[in-house]
Amino acid sequence: MKKKFNSLGVYIAVALLVALSLPVVLALTVLNETRASQIDEEMQRFVDEKLQTMQHSLILPVWSLDRSDMVAVLNGAMLDRQVVSVEILDPEGKSIIRLDDPQRGAGKLIARSAPLVMQRSQLDLNLGELRMVVSDEQLQRKLSGDKRFYTLVLLAQAVVSLLIIGGLVYRRILAPIGKLTEATERIQRGSFDARIAVPQQDEIGLLARHMEAMQGSLKTLFDEQAAILGNIPAGVLFVRDGRIAFFNGAAQALLGRHDTSLVGLPCEQVFVEPAQQAGYIAQTVARASGASGEIVLLRHGDGSSFPAELHTTLIEGGRQSDQIWVIIDVSQRLEDEARIDRLAFYDPVTDLPNKKLCMDRLRRGLGRMSSSGSCAAVMCIEVHRSDFAYGAVKADEAERFLVDCARRLSSCVSPDQTLARLEGEKFALLTELKGRELADGIKSCEALAHKLLAAFEDLQASLAGTSPCSLSVGINVLRHHDHAAEEVIMQAELAMVQARLAGRGVFRFFDPAMQALANQRSVLENELRQAVQQRQFVVHYQPQVSYEGDVVGAEALVRWQHPARDLVMPGHFIAVAEELGLMEEIGHQLLQQVCADMQAWQAEGLARDLVIAVNVSAQEFQSQHFVQRFCETLREHGIKTHSIKVELTESMMVDHVDEVIERMHALRAQAVSISLDDFGTGYSSLSYLGRFPIDQLKIDQSFVRRLHSDAATASIVRSIIMLGQSLELSIIAEGVETREQRDLLHAHGCTLYQGYWYGKPMPGEQFRLLLSHPQRYR
């Protein structure tokens, strides 16, 4: 539609209309103005003549006061339909006779008057005045008719002129130009055979002959280029606006598509990964020089793919989206290069990276450590078979053995780690450590070493009849990047020799301090397992006291009664116990001891209203049978459920919120109260807090310590207390060590306290004495 409105024919038609309309409008204006002036003059002349005639006819009747003659004269005037009214007035201005016709009031009214004077001797007698009102309606109607006639005549003349001029313009200008336009469109589509039929001899005809000559030149040029492109072995594509507009035979053969499927095809569809290659295309177009020799993966028409070297060039002087693509199939070249690379960087027997590639990746890894500050580890692994040393193994059997070793080692390695064969039966493993702490790095290296050793446990069975074999692993944890790659490998090999001397089938760290930490952790894990089996864990109680000084409860805290190291605090073993999955059993043993103590105290008449808070770990609380086992333990000892309070930490409630709430409701259904420990230090959302069926908030001791010195901390404590009060929860503060802390907490609304001000955690017997001899804490 827009193209039609922008055509030359429309412009010419509009110009003709404007050119012919202006004279018509001007002529109509002049004629109408002239005719209107003539009508006005005729009207004025008519009124003057009419008034003068009546003036002479009425002097005698008025003088003689002959009313019938006066009426006759006036009726004669009214016979003319242009006269609206006539009236005779006496000298005093009073009406003598008046005749009018109201229906003649249309149009423009002209009122005139003339004196009635009787000449007597030398004296003029004033007889009165004649008034007449005339309408120009009839003359206006005549003027309108004249205007319509003039308009029709001029319009007819303009239409005839427009048709004559338009026909000539179309025949001599528009039609030839239309033929030229069709010819250019054919040339644009690549059709050069049709002639341009414009026989006229004027300037347009000359232009047509020049265009026909240009068409012939272009046909010759295109034929020559097509012949050249058709004999080029590389594929050539012309891309316009992201679509293929032209291709040669080599490109069609490489892409395996028909002519109809290639022309107009979005160019990203020839790539195996269209989404990824779309970004490549955009970047290529943005470059002024295009891209030279980039390797891409193209799609064949049958669905297969092949690597190609793609050269893109922007057409000089063309649009930004016009490009020439040259495609060269490099499948064979890449296969040859890959074969050369594999021979240079990979072991031909195990297909693992060789020592050269291993050292290169190690150097690059040390460079990344320098920039990121991360940690890494290098493991040197040696497989031992005694018959290898004596040359008693055939070459094919040795290769099968090494391939099996590489497979077993590879099964323990993740994609971001590098396993390489150094020489003989020696392998190397490069890995980056996730954590920045030394203990975390040692732990992950130990886990990987155990996994490697476990992969070779059944190797002897799979190689029946062969000599015994074993594995030695040396570990070098890299905390600094200021070592050469050769030095790092040598240190790992030294650790491997230490592992071999230690009896094989073991691993050793190069750093003695790391080895000591590893040994210490291994000893701790074994001792923890024994501690669970031998029930070496004991319970200490820390009083929970009201503002009045009454002991209303206690928190049960676990301690490890180590046979050699005396009492071990939970900070030294809880994390390891959680990693070993022992916390569920430790928590159960702790609950059993608490129930046994409560049972004994209640038998003595003590602790009837006492509530003992038991800490429950996340591992223990996530057990599906936790609530059932917890309540069964209370029933076995005859302990009422409201006498035991479960303490949970905020961090436990971040994951699996719905499951946590479900178990909390199950505890509440058994009348077990729940306290939220360390409130304010975790990650609980306030939107969840309203859903948690808790009974108590415990203010963390880190807030209590800074209560006097930090105004922001005091505001946080006040907010926690106000929040608990609004939710109708009990509030208790831990870590209370001074009277000032207690008093300030009380001033903010906290009424329960726990801390060294009231007593340190104490064994059950000492706490029983406290209950039997109550004292007021003031």
Band (pLDDT 50/70/90 cuts) for residue 380 is: very high
Q: How many CB atoms lie within 10 A of CB 510?
A: 23
Phi and psi at residue 624, to the nearest 5°? -65, -25
pLDDT at 1 over 50: no
Geometric angle at alpha carbon 418, from 415 and 421, rounded to 5°: 135
**648 in Cβ contact with 672 (< 8 Å):** no
Left (φ > 0), alpha (ψ -120 to 50) or beta: where does 505 sit?
left
The angle, 0 to 180 degrees and rounded to 10, between the axes of the packed helices 583-603 and 512-534 is 40
Tell me the one-letter amino acid at 763. Answer: P
Of 419 and 191, the one with more pLDDT: 419
Tell me the one-letter amino acid at 613. Answer: A
> Which of 63-77, 182-196, 452-466 has the lowest average pLDDT?
452-466
Phi and psi at residue 584, to the nearest 5°? -65, -45
pLDDT at 465 over 50: no
The tens digit of pLDDT for each residue in 522-542 reads 788 888 999 999 999 999 999
The tens digit of pLDDT for each residue in 19-35 reads 777 777 787 777 777 77
CA 24: distance to chain centroid? 65
Q: What is the mean pLDDT of residues 364-373?
A: 78
- Round to whole Å and give the CA distance between 13 and 22: 14
How are beta strands 644-649 and 611-615 bridged, if at all?
Answer: parallel
**350 in Cβ contact with 403 (< 8 Å):** yes
How are beta strands 291-299 and 696-699 bridged, if at all?
Answer: unpaired
> Where does residue 776 rank: exposed (0-12), middle (13-18), buried (19+ CB within 10 A)?
exposed
Task: Give the residue ranges of DSSP H helices in 132-248.
Answer: 137-169, 175-189, 203-230
**421 in Cβ contact with 383 (< 8 Å):** no
Q: Which of 731, 776, 754 shows the shortest CA–CA distance to 557? A: 754
- On the CB side of 392, CA atoms within 13 Å amount to 8
The tens digit of pLDDT for each residue in 736-750 reads 999 999 999 999 999
Q: How many CB atoms lie within 10 A of CB 609?
A: 9
> Where does residue 486 rank: exposed (0-12), middle (13-18), buried (19+ CB within 10 A)?
exposed
Beta-bridge partners for 368:
none
Q: What is the mean pLDDT of residues 683-707?
A: 80
Band (pLDDT 50/70/90 cuts) for residue 283 is: low
Phi and psi at residue 680, to the nearest 5°? 100, -15
Left (φ > 0), alpha (ψ -120 to 50) or beta: where does 605 sit?
left
Sign of torsion, CA 31 34 40 41?
A: negative
| pLDDT confidence of residue 397 | 80
CA distances from 59 to 120, 124, 134, 605 (A): 12, 12, 21, 152
- Round to whole Å and give the CA distance between 133 and 119: 27
Three-state secondary structure call for residue 508: strand
The tens digit of pLDDT for each residue in 386-414 reads 666 545 567 778 888 888 888 988 888 88
- β-sheet with 95-100: strand ranges across: 95-100, 83-89, 123-135, 109-120
The pLDDT > 70 percentage for the chain reads 87
Maximum Cα–Cα distance across the chain: 180
- Round to whole Å and give the CA distance between 40 and 140: 10
The mean pLDDT value of the chain amounts to 80
**555 in Cβ contact with 590 (< 8 Å):** no
Of 265 and 230, the one with more pLDDT: 265
Three state DSSP letters for 729-753: CEEEEECCCCHHHHHHHHHHCCCEE
Q: Specify the residue for token string 């491997």.
A: 496
pLDDT at 319 over 80: no
The tens digit of pLDDT for each residue in 98-143 reads 888 877 767 777 788 888 887 776 677 788 888 888 877 777 777 7
- Round to whole Å and give the CA distance between 448 and 455: 11
Q: Specify the residue for token string 């149009």.
A: 107
Structure tokens at 757: 């001000």
- Round to whole Å and give the CA distance between 139 and 108: 10
Of all helices (H) and strands (E), which one includes residue 87? strand 83-89
The set of residues, in sequence order, having a beta carbon less than 8 Å from that of 560 and lying 6+ positions away, is 531, 536, 537, 538, 567, 568, 570, 572, 573
Sign of torsion, CA 138 143 148 150?
A: positive
The tens digit of pLDDT for each residue in 163-175 reads 887 777 777 777 7
The set of residues, in sequence order, having a beta carbon less than 8 Å from that of 10 and lying 6+ positions away, is 4
Structure tokens at 40: 């006005």
| pLDDT confidence of residue 234 | 79
- On the CB side of 161, CA atoms within 13 Å amount to 14
Of 350 and 481, the one with more pLDDT: 350
Three-state secondary structure call for residue 657: helix
| pLDDT confidence of residue 216 | 74
Task: Give the residue ranges of DSSP H helices in 502-580.
Answer: 512-534, 574-579
Q: Which of 97, 99, 93 shows the shortest CA–CA distance to 133? A: 99
Band (pLDDT 50/70/90 cuts) for residue 561 is: very high
Q: Specify the residue for token string 């891209």.
A: 291
- Round to whole Å and give the CA distance between 348 and 340: 12
**679 in Cβ contact with 700 (< 8 Å):** yes
Band (pLDDT 50/70/90 cuts) for residue 466 is: low
Band (pLDDT 50/70/90 cuts) for residue 463 is: very low
* Strand stretches in 457-550, DSSP E: 469-478, 507-509, 537-546
Q: What is the mean pLDDT of residues 653-660?
A: 74
The set of residues, in sequence order, having a beta carbon less than 8 Å from that of 542 and lying 6+ positions away, is 554, 555, 557, 754, 755, 759, 760, 761, 762
Phi and psi at residue 103, to the nearest 5°? -70, -10
The tens digit of pLDDT for each residue in 58-71 reads 878 877 878 888 88
CB crowding 5-22: b at 16 or more within 10 Å, else e: eeeebeebbeebeeebee
